[in-house]
């Protein structure tokens, strides 16, 4: 189904109604949160939850792999109640490491579409970013319309993209493998490598800066990096957003690939009930709207209002392939990237 949203003017009213009828009973206690989300705007999410429930959040922040390794080392003595991280592959990595546990929640089952939830209910996606194509409107009159088009020889020397070690690269590859098969995607990856404007480097914002600087004409990035540059000053991008066009790929087939940010309840959570309440809160309209307003992401719950910067990107068809199926293809994606010469 296409990404759609109600009028932005209704957002404040929806939040007010939610506050008045929030299903979170006041409860004393604590919640120990391990988070690799590095966004200052998330402070509002945490403070609102504390105000609504009386549950105090204690946070440990770090890189996803480090937090997962820490939880493994802590074992049954781990104080972690919830792990939050970004990208499907990291969520699945946490599940495979045995640091999450399955939970039952009617709220999450009803609010979150099945394709953004782990098939075993160990992790849940709460916000999304579309991984799409951007291009220099001054130099590119016929931009790629599909991910497959990035391998077309007519784009030789024009493409900027992230490295093979980046989880976003691995996950888009995994999604393509799920749709097209491993052999076809390995051939595609070799074609993309042949079209590189430079060796992969930097983050998503750096790919957009490459378009502005003229280093490349086409780039792949998550939408929230560009939407952020629309909403507030981003060095090397915001002053030149008018020269950048964008394409939501594969609109006549599978749809645009969606990256997830999500979390799950820790395997040995000492405050399991509070952990479930927190995840349920993240699926509320109030929190979902803030993912968009505060960090330029797409809500995971259908029908929640988008911020103006995100809404400006327009309606599109998202890929609704099951996130668990994508996660299962990540090892094959890493193999294909290595064999294609993608640095």
Question: CA–CA distance from 155 to each of 3, 195, 211, 217 (Å)?
Answer: 29, 6, 14, 9
By the 8 A CB rule, do 139 and 215 touch? Answer: no
**Does the pLDDT at position 21 exceed 70?**
no
pLDDT digits (tens, 9 = 90+) for 165-182: 999 999 999 999 999 999
**Percent of the chain scoring above 90 in pLDDT:** 87
CA distance 79 to 86: 21
Band (pLDDT 50/70/90 cuts) for residue 28 is low
Question: Token digits for 237?
Answer: 């991008």
Any residues with CB less than 8 A from the CB of 27 and at least 6 apart, and which? 53, 54, 55, 273, 274, 277
Average pLDDT of the segment spanning 72-92: 94
Q: How confident is the model at residue 39 (pLDDT cuts 50, 70, 90)?
A: confident
Q: With H, G, I as helix, E, B as strand and everything else as coil, classify residue 21.
A: helix
| Tens-digit pLDDT profile for residues 89-127 | 899 999 999 999 999 999 999 999 999 999 999 999 999
Vertex 193 angle, CA 187 and 196, to 5°: 150
Helix (H, G, I), strand (E, B) or coil at 152: coil
Q: Give burial (CB, 10 Å; 0-12/13-18/19+) of 73.
A: exposed
Which CATH superfamily hosts domain 8-128+259-307?
A: Periplasmic binding protein-like II (3.40.190.10)
Judge whether 8-128+259-307 and 129-256+327-340 match in fold.
yes
What's the mean pLDDT in 191-210? 97
Residue 155: pLDDT over 60: yes
The candidate with the shortest Cα–Cα distance to 175, out of 336, 342, 341, 319, is 319
Q: Please name which of 71, 77, 74, 79 lies closest in space to residue 100, comparing C-alpha atoms.
A: 71
| Architecture of domain 129-256+327-340 in this structure | 3-Layer(aba) Sandwich (3.40)
Q: What is the pLDDT of residues 271-330, one digit of tens each?
A: 999 999 999 999 999 999 999 998 999 999 999 999 999 999 999 999 999 988 998 999
Nearest to 244 by CA among 266, 267, 216, 276: 216
Higher pLDDT, 183 or 20: 183
Query: What does residue 226 show for φ and ψ, rounded to 5 degrees?
Result: -75, -45
Residue identified by tokens 């927190």 is: 278
What is the bridge-based pairing of β-strands 124-136 and 218-222? antiparallel
The three-state secondary structure class of 282 is helix
The CA-atom distances, in angstroms, between 92 and each of 46, 86, 313, 330 are 24, 11, 29, 10
**Domains in the chain: boundaries:** 8-128+259-307, 129-256+327-340
């Amino acid at each position: 189904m296409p990404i759609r949203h109600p009028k932005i003017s209704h957002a404040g009213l929806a939040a007010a109604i939610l506050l008045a009828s929030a299903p979170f009973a006041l409860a004393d206690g604590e919640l120990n949160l391990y988070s690799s989300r590095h966004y200052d705007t998330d402070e509002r999410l945490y403070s609102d939850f504390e105000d609504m429930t009386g549950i105090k959040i204690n946070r440990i922040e770090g890189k996803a792999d480090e937090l997962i390794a820490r939880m493994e080392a802590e074992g049954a003595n781990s104080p972690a109640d919830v792990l939050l991280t970004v990208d499907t592959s990291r969520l699945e990595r946490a599940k495979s490491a045995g640091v999450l546990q399955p939970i039952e929640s009617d709220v999450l089952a009803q609010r979150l579409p099945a394709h953004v939830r782990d098939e075993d209910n160990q992790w849940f996606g709460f916000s999304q970013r579309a991984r799409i194509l951007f291009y220099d409107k001054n130099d590119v009159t016929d931009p790629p319309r599909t991910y497959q088009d990035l391998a077309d020889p007519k784009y030789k020397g024009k493409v900027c993209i992230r490295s093979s070690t980046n989880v976003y690269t691995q996950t888009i590859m995994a999604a393509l493998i799920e749709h097209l098969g491993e052999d076809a995607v390995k051939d595609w990856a070799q074609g993309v490598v042949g079209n590189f404007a430079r060796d992969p480097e930097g983050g998503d914002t750096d790919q957009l800066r490459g378009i502005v600087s003229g280093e490349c004409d086409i780039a792949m990035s998550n939408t929230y990096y560009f939407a952020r540059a629309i909403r507030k000053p981003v060095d090397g991008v915001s002053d030149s957003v008018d020269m950048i066009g964008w394409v939501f790929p594969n609109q006549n087939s599978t749809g645009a690939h969606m990256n997830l940010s999500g979390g799950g309840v820790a395997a040995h959570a000492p405050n399991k009930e509070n952990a479930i309440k927190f995840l349920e809160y993240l699926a509320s309209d109030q929190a979902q709207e803030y993912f968009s307003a505060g960090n330029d992401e797409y809500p995971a719950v259908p029908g929640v209002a988008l911020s103006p910067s995100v809404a400006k990107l327009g309606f599109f068809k998202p890929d609704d392939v099951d996130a668990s199926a994508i996660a299962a293809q990540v090892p094959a994606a890493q193999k294909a990237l290595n064999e294609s010469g993608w640095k």
